[in-house]
Amino acid sequence: MRVAVLGFGTVGVGVYEMLQQAQELEAGPVLVRPGKADAPFKVTDLEQILADPRVDAVAEVMGGVEPAYQYASAALRAGKHFVTSNKALVAARGIELNALARENGAAFLFSAACGGGVPFLHNLSLARESDEILSLGGILNGTTNYMLDAMQRLSLDYGEALQDAQRLGYAEADPSADVSGMDALRKIMLACAVAYDKLPSDGLLNEGIESITAADVAHFRSKGYTCRLLARGGRAGESVSAWVEPVLLRDGAPECAVLENYNMASYEGKCSGPIVLMGQGAGRYPTASAVLRDLSCILHGKLYMFQVDCRRVAADNNCKEQIYYVRLPAALAGDLPVESAELDGDTVRVVTRPISVSQMHVTAQRLRAAGASLFFAAIGG
């Protein structure tokens, strides 16, 4: 199967190199921007790829929703299989691309978009056929895991941990999608769609790690907790729950063993029990390996990860109740259902009674809108 590649950046170079060595796969032309075609295999016009009958599949590794969506649609209409590592594209337009792929008898696969090299979506897609997926989630963002781990083990403050992550190439110059939790949220959207046929597109909640301080981390350590940014999802009546937030885990929990920029994706099947997959969630070759795995799936007849009736829903995060740690100005503690509180000057560290995920996130948004500085994390698994 001959594969054209759209984009020749971090992942694109890896995909092209791996295609050159793969069995039953062949590297086709690579689309680059005008003025950048400095080798014969590089082209600047998508039409050259779409009109080429020797190209069977297109691997999109450019990023962004547009023009990736236009290019994906055109490739599928031309009957080419379509594989992508682009979570923003699949979260925004996955439903439309799935329908278009099926209309044209072409594949639409995107396992690199959730978990990088970790084969999370393929496992979920297979497991859901014979088992009920009770819940899913995990550490799906390597950048924030690196930062939280460095804050704990190297005693760095937030700014130092971010600088370190940028120096090592784990964080981009603009790290906002990672540190805000948005990157992990897009991934849990895709996982919910694969497991439950429901792509949560509204009502999602994400709390990132921008507000965590070295003092918070020292406080957690004194109590035997490790902080990780977790994405979570599950069935919620006719809808699904889907949210991202920092979580405090007791030492010994599996997530505490996930160090540096590693990912840990997990799901619980009614029959299988908990399944945990760990590995590199990003990087040139881990991500390229997931793109190649999708291409091999096509050769074996697996063409889709979304079912025909996969549809958008509003997420429902009201059902799940948790206990939260909240650090906030002491004067505002009355806005929370307080179980216990430790006063530290003008600041208070509250442990709440059980409250719903949405109540916690909405309360935090309201307090921040009124100018309060706070950090919160769910306690426990």
Ligand X SMILES: NC(=O)c1ccc[n+]([C@@H]2O[C@H](COP(=O)([O-])OP(=O)(O)OC[C@H]3O[C@@H](n4cnc5c(N)ncnc54)[C@H](OP(=O)(O)O)[C@@H]3O)[C@@H](O)[C@H]2O)c1
Instruction: Rule CB under 6 A: say whether 74 interacts with ligand X.
Output: no
Number of residues that bind ligand X (CB under 6 A): 21
Backbone angles phi, psi at 164, to 5 degrees: -60, -45
Which helix or strand (DSSP H or E) is residue 29 part of?
strand 26-31
Beta bridge partners of 356: 321
Angle among Cα 43, 46, 51 to the nearest 5 degrees reads 100
CB of 86 to ligand X, least distance (A): 4
Contact pick of 4, 5, 7, 78 for ligand X (by CB under 6 A): 7
Instruction: Compute the distance between CA of residue 118 and CA of residue 267 in angstroms, rounded to an integer.
Output: 13
* Segment interacting with ligand X (CB under 6 A) among 83-91, 149-157, 266-274, 308-316: 83-91
**Gap between the terminal Cα atoms of the chain:** 44
Q: Please tell me whether residue 117 binds ligand X under the rule CB under 6 A.
A: no
Output 31 or 107, the one with its CB closest to ligand X. 31
User: Contact between 119 and ligand X (CB under 6 A)?
Assistant: no
Please identify which residue in 3, 4, 5, 12 interacts with ligand X, judged by CB under 6 A: 12
Please identify which residue in 41, 42, 63, 307 interacts with ligand X, judged by CB under 6 A. Answer: 63
Which residue shows structure tokens 């969506």? 69
Region binding ligand X by CB under 6 A among candidate stretches 56-64, 196-204, 252-260, 295-303: 56-64
Q: Per rule CB under 6 A, is residue 244 in the interface with ligand X?
A: no
Min dist CB 142 to ligand X, Å, is 8
Structure tokens at 213: 């301080």
> Which residue is associated with the tokens 């790290």?
175
Closer by beta carbon to ligand X, 37 or else 332: 37
Query: Is residue 112 close enough to count as binding ligand X by CB under 6 A?
Result: yes
For position 85 contacting ligand X by CB under 6 A, the verdict is: yes
Distance CA 185, CA 180 (A): 9
| Backbone phi, psi, residue 262, to 5° | -75, 160
| Gap between the Cα atoms of 250 and 255, Å rounded | 9
Confirm whether 223 is a catalytic residue. no
Catalytic residue among 36, 187, 198, 302: 187
Cβ–Cβ under 8 Å, residues 347 and 329: yes
* 45 Rama class: left (phi>0) / alpha (psi -120 to 50) / beta: beta
Stretch that binds ligand X, among 4-12, 242-250, 341-349, 368-376 (CB under 6 A): 4-12
The interface region with ligand X, picked from 80-88, 124-132, 189-197, 208-216 by CB under 6 A, is 80-88
Quick check: helix, strand or coil at residue 170? Answer: coil
Per CB under 6 A, does 313 bind ligand X? Answer: no
Q: Which is nearer to ligand X, 11 or 217 (CB)?
A: 11
CB 181 to ligand X: min, Å = 15
Nearer to ligand X, 63 or 279 (CB): 63
CA-to-CA dists, residue 188 to 23, 290, 346, 365, angstroms: 32, 17, 37, 21
| Closest approach of ligand X to the CB of residue 214, in Å | 28
Residue nearest ligand X, CB atom distance: 9
H or E element, residue 267: strand 262-269
Which residue lies nearer to ligand X by CB, 117 or 200? 117
208 binds ligand X (CB under 6 A): no
Is residue 380 at the binding interface for ligand X, with CB under 6 A as the rule? no
Give the contacts of 330 (CB within 8 A, at least 6 positions apart).
Answer: 343, 345, 346, 347, 348
94 is an interface residue for ligand X by CB under 6 A? no
Scan residues 247-286 and list those touching ligand X (CB under 6 A).
282-283
Q: How far is CA 56 from CA 9, 50, 228, 300, in A?
A: 22, 9, 41, 14
**Helix intervals (H) in the chain:** 10-21, 46-50, 68-77, 87-103, 120-127, 142-153, 158-167, 176-179, 182-196, 214-222, 284-299, 357-369
Catalytic residue positions, numbered: 187
**Where does this chain bind ligand X (CB under 6 A)?**
7-12, 31-33, 61-63, 67, 85-87, 112, 116, 282-283, 287
